[in-house]
Amino acid sequence: MIRELIFYEQYFFDFYDTQPKKVQEKIDYVLDLIVNVERVPEKFLKYLADTDGLYEIRVKVGSDIFRFFCFFDAGKLVVVLQGFHKKSQKTPRSELAKAERLKHQYFEEKNQ
């Protein structure tokens, strides 16, 4: 295991649990790659420029595209935030703002 994944609050699972089995299997596959592969291809994990250290976990099933925001804490710890079904070229600003807010909240709670 190269990295450790944790899920902040229940946001990821609230989304994951509503997805069909086929989508859940692909999400599991991509998360397994992130945990076990030294150099994760950018098509699965991409740094988001113009953010405060956020990354995007990318999952494609057929023509459907799903995204999950995450960030690194203490080097090898990946903290996964919320997910959403991407329906347009641009990432919705509201989803990005939510991810930044959750990241800030995570560090506030951690430092208490």
Range of the domain at 43: 4-110
Which parts of 1-63 are beta strand (E)?
4-7, 45-47, 55-61
Show Cβ contacts of residue 41 under 8 Å, excluding neighbours closer than 6 positions: 33
Show Cβ contacts of residue 39 under 8 Å, excluding neighbours closer than 6 positions: none
Contact 61, 23 (CB under 8 A): yes
Residue of 41, 33, 44, 99 lying closest to 69 (CA atoms): 99
Structural domains in the chain (count): 1
Per-residue pLDDT of the chain (112 residues; tens, 9 = 90+): 899 999 999 999 999 999 999 999 999 999 999 999 999 999 999 999 988 899 999 999 999 999 999 999 988 999 999 999 988 888 889 999 999 999 999 999 999 9
Contact 102, 8 (CB under 8 A): yes
CATH of the domain at 14: 3.30.2310.20
